[in-house]
Amino acid sequence: MAMARRCALIQIKARAAPDVRKAAMRYLLAALFWLGATAAAQAAGDAGLGRAIAIEACSACHKVMPHQKQPDPVLNPDEGVSIAAPDFIRIARKYGRRPRALRDYIRAPVHPMREQMWDAQDLDAVVAFIQTLPTKRTESP
């Protein structure tokens, strides 16, 4: 009698198993989808965050915001000459359609622009911000 009851229990478990497996699969797929969506959002970059980072990390040398005064040229001590950093509208015109080249330049800049330690997400954010800048000459910056 006890034996029969145990068998019945096992049968119930066995019948439940495929449903559990299906549910687990659904969760797994949902998790993978979520991860994929997050990765896509990161690749696109957060322009709002990028704007804040650019003001903080670039505006000492570059004119980042339209109302900002053009900063003084930057001394290149190797050659003893000062070089004006291009304003961000010019950078957007040159690199707006080449985010990868822009990313590479910021990561490994030409002297006297300094190399900085970059978190990938921050770098994508700065690139995304630059891509939002108006590049047509008729648009006011």
81 contacts: CB under 8 Å, gap ≥ 6: 75
CB of 121 to ligand HEC, least distance (A): 14
Note whether 103 binds ligand HEC by CB under 6 A.
no
Instruction: Give the binding range for ligand HEC (CB under 6 A) out of 11-19, 22-30, 40-48, 107-115.
Output: 107-115
Burial annotation 14-45 (CB, 10 A radius, 16+ → b, else e) = eeeeeeeeeeeeeeeeeeeeeeeeeeeeeeeb
Note whether 55 binds ligand HEC by CB under 6 A.
no
Whether the bond into 112 is cis, omega within 30 of 0: yes
Note whether 58 binds ligand HEC by CB under 6 A.
yes
Q: How far apart are CA 114 and CA 59, in angstroms?
A: 13
Q: Which of 37, 60, 81, 120 binds ligand HEC (CB under 6 A)?
A: 60
Binding site for ligand HEC (CB under 6 A): 54, 57-58, 60-62, 74, 83, 85-86, 91, 94-95, 102, 105-106, 109-110, 112-114, 126
